[in-house]
Structures are given as C-alpha cells and as structure tokens.
C-alpha cells in the first residue's frame, strides 16, 4: 500500500509557480499545487494529440484491459488517496465520504471498462443493412468541481478513455491535489500524454473550452459557468455534456412513516455535508405528518457527528471553502430573520477553526424564502409544509432547475405517479441522490444536458457513424 506521504511527494512540483492548499477543517497546510497557464495547456493538448491515435487504434478490448489495471492501481493507493482527499476537500474518511469516493473511482472505472458497446443494427430488411458505430472524438476537455473532485473526474475520464479519446483535465482551484493524485495513479497504466491535468484559473478554463483541438467538453458545476461554456465552445461546435446546478425537491406523501424515512431523508440532504449537486435541498412534507417528520429528522441530525475528517468518528465535515460557508450562513440568517423556525443548528462557533457550519434544519418557512429558492449547497435543509399533492408538485416544479427529485411514500405505485409529474432528470422513490454506473444520469431545464453513465454515457463520448450498405 502506497503511503500518503509518498503520494503527496509524487505530485508536488519541484519547479514553477505553486500555490499552497490549506485543509478547510484545520487551516493547516496540505501541500503545494502547481499553477499552470495557457502555455502549459497548449503543451498538454499537443501531447494528447500525439498520444490519442495509437490509443484509439488499440481497440476496446486492449483499452479496457489497461483501464482495469488502472482500477487495480487505484485500489493499491486507496488509503493514501482517501487521506489526501479528506485533508484537501474536508470530507471525513468514513461514512459516504473519502474512502467511499476513492472506492467509487475504481468501481466506476471497472464498470465503464467492461460495459459492452456493440454496433447497433438499425435496419436489416434484406435490401438495406445499416449500423451505428461510435468512433473516438479525439481530445476531451474535462472540467470538474471541488465537492467530489476524484469521483466526478473519474465519471468524466473513464468513458472518454474507454472510447479511445485523450483527456485534458482542469480541476477546481480548491481541490487540485486530489485530482493530480488520482491522475498520477491512473497514468501508471496509460501511455504518456494521454491523460494530463492542468491546474489553472479562469484563463486556462476559458482557453480549454474554446480551443479548436478539443472536440468535447464535459463540465460539472454551476449553471452560470455552464452558460459561459456554451458560448465559448460555440465557435468550434464542440460536443458538450453539462451537469449544472440543482435545487432538488423531495415530496413526502401523507402515508409515509416519518421514523422509517428519517435516515434516508437525512443522508439524501446531508451527504458530503450537503455539498452535492443532486442532494435533497428543499423538502415538502404533508401537513398531517409535518411535525413528526421534523422531529424524526432532528433526532437523526443531532446524533450525526461532525468534525475533522481524519478523526475516524466523524461522518460530516466542514464546508470546503469560505465562499460556500458565507453562502450558507447568509441564507440561514435570512430564513431566521423572516420568522422561520430553526429546529437545529444555525449557530456556527466563531472560535472554531475551519469552515464548519452546524447541521441545520429550518421549519415553517415560505416557499419563496431565499433558503428554498436558491441552492444552498451546504448543511441546511428547509422543510416546507403543504396541504395537497398538487400544491407540492407545483412548488417542486417552480424553479428553473431540475437535476433530481424524490418522492417518499408507503405506496411505491402512488409515488411513481407523483414522480412522473416532476420536472427533473432523475426522480428517486424513497431515497435521494443514489447513482449507479449503468443508470443514465443528467439534468432537465437549466440543470444541463447530456447523459452520463452506462451505455448512453459511452455513446456521448463517441462520434456516431452510420454505415449503410
């Protein structure tokens, strides 16, 4: 097993400009990240252009074999990767956090490497035989976020590589070390130049999205940045997969058992301390069981430990950065000032190091309150009372985003009827936010477009070619 120290040393630059990365839980130094510019990006694209044709020529079987070896390499460095991720991002080692995320990287890579994608026969009537094949795009630009930096990067690079592309990755400036480390481990099994991480700012990101050599951009992040990418990529007609902002609604029907669903509701909302695109961010509960659901949620939340990620007892951590801490604090303060009832939390300790915001539940809040209408992306959940299902569906559909949603009920058939009325890319029944490597995932409305995962995800990383005759 590779040590954390050795892994960190392997990605620490010996020359060039660097930036110190601090632990959001303690303020202590984690390591030094390189600071790349557009010249570094050009070098990465040149190397990718040189490496990609031979990689594509290997074919699916040989590429998959290399990716399976890379998955094994991730497992061999799993604990070192998890410790680095915990220190840089802030998430605890245990629970659905750092060790979970690293494990997801290797399992997702294996699933992607072994998913078959055979030519699809669309017509074969004795006179015409037509098939759809998927050819490599060339070079894919992958721009990832800071909340799940390793896992979402893997969601981008695994299908891109499997389909015969080279990849240039631009990680978030908040979590570059995690992505550098993951790529360093994966690159032990890949040809040189095929996968490169460029750690730069907005200038690098802007150049990546407009560069004529890049055939596709995969982006996970805010809707505002996604719109900017659409504009900057238009001149070269790039293919895009955009997983953008969400403000997921959950609807609890009146027949639900508050005690039975409380833990699922909690983790749907507070996984990764609420810093998840498809987390439950506004909860609509029928008036008949409203108080019971509030009480059950508060019981689970109060018993869930938050603290420094390297402490094995903790399962919730800090906000990753001060900007996000300030957003959560502003929205909770606005809710309090409006007369909403704070069931739990809402009172960060100003003397505590790190960006810790306590687990917060807010009841008796209006649907147009900023904490409901804006994406908080943190550990604060507004709980809205409703009287009829029609009212709940109208409120759930009232925003311009639609990444995910959920319906909670003792009657799955009734829940599915309600789910069909919700405008979201995925609607879960009696759970929220779970993803699977074979189940397509993507947003509706301004939460983006394009599908990831499974066969559909592979297709999105290829150029469809019809062979007719």
Q: Which residues are catalytic?
A: 243, 277
What Cα–Cα distance (Å) separates residue 221 from each residue in 141, 146, 275? 14, 9, 12
Chain centroid to CA 345: 26
Task: Compute the distance between CA of residue 176 and CA of residue 77 in angstroms, rounded to an integer.
Answer: 18
Residue with tokens 């010996």: 14
A 10 A CB-CB count for 193 gives 19
Beta pairing partners, 31? 21
Task: Compute the distance between CA of residue 8 and CA of residue 67 in angstroms, rounded to an integer.
Answer: 23
**Tokens representing residue 247 in the block:** 């403000």
């Amino acid at each position: 097993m590779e040590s954390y120290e050795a892994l960190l040393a392997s990605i620490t630059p010996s020359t060039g400009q660097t930036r110190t990365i601090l632990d959001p839980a303690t303020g202590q130094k984690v390591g030094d990240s390189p600071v790349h510019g557009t010249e570094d990006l050009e070098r990465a694209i040149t190397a990718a252009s040189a490496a990609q044709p031979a990689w594509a020529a290997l074919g699916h079987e040989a590429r998959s074999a290399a990716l399976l070896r890379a998955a094994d390499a991730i497992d061999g460095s799993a604990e070192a990767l998890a410790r680095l991720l915990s220190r840089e991002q802030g998430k605890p080692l245990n629970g659905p956090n750092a060790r979970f995320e690293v494990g997801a990287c290797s399992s997702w890579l294996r699933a992607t490497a072994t998913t078959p994608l055979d030519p699809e026969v669309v017509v074969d009537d004795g006179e015409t035989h037509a098939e759809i094949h998927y050819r490599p795009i060339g070079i894919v630009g992958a721009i990832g976020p800071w909340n799940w930096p390793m896992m979402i990067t893997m969601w981008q690079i695994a299908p891109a590589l499997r389909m015969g592309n080279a990849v240039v990755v631009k990680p978030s400036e908040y979590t570059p070390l995690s992505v550098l480390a993951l790529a360093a481990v994966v690159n032990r099994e890949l040809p040189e130049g095929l996968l490169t991480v460029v750690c730069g700012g907005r200038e690098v990101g802007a150049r990546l999205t407009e560069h004529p050599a890049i055939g596709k951009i995969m982006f996970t992040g805010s809707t505002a940045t996604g719109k900017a990418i659409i504009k900057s990529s238009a001149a070269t007609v790039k293919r895009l997969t955009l997983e953008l902002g969400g403000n997921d609604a959950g609807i609890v029907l009146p027949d639900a058992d508050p005690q039975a669903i409380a833990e699922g509701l909690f983790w749907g909302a507070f996984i990764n301390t609420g810093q998840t695109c498809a987390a439950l961010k506004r909860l609509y509960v029928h008036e008949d069981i409203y108080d019971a659901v509030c009480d059950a949620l508060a019981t689970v939340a109060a018993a869930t430990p938050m603290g420094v990620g390297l402490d094995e007892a903790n399962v919730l951590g800090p906000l990753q950065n001060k900007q996000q801490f300030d957003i959560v604090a502003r929205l909770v303060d606005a809710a309090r000032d409006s007369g909403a009832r704070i069931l739990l939390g809402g009172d960060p300790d100003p003397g505590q190091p790190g960006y810790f915001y306590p687990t917060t539940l807010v009841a008796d809040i209006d649907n147009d309150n900023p904490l409901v209408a804006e994406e908080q992306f943190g550990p604060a959940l507004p709980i809205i009372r409703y009287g009829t299902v029609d009212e709940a569906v109208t409120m759930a559909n009232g925003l311009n985003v639609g990444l995910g949603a959920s319906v909670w009920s003792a009657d799955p058939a009734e829940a599915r009827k309600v789910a069909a009325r919700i405008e979201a890319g995925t609607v879960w029944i009696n759970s929220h936010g779970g993803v699977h490597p074979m189940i397509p995932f993507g947003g509706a409305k301004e939460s983006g477009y394009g599908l990831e995962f499974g066969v559909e995800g592979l297709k999105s990383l290829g150029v469809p070619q019809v062979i007719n005759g």
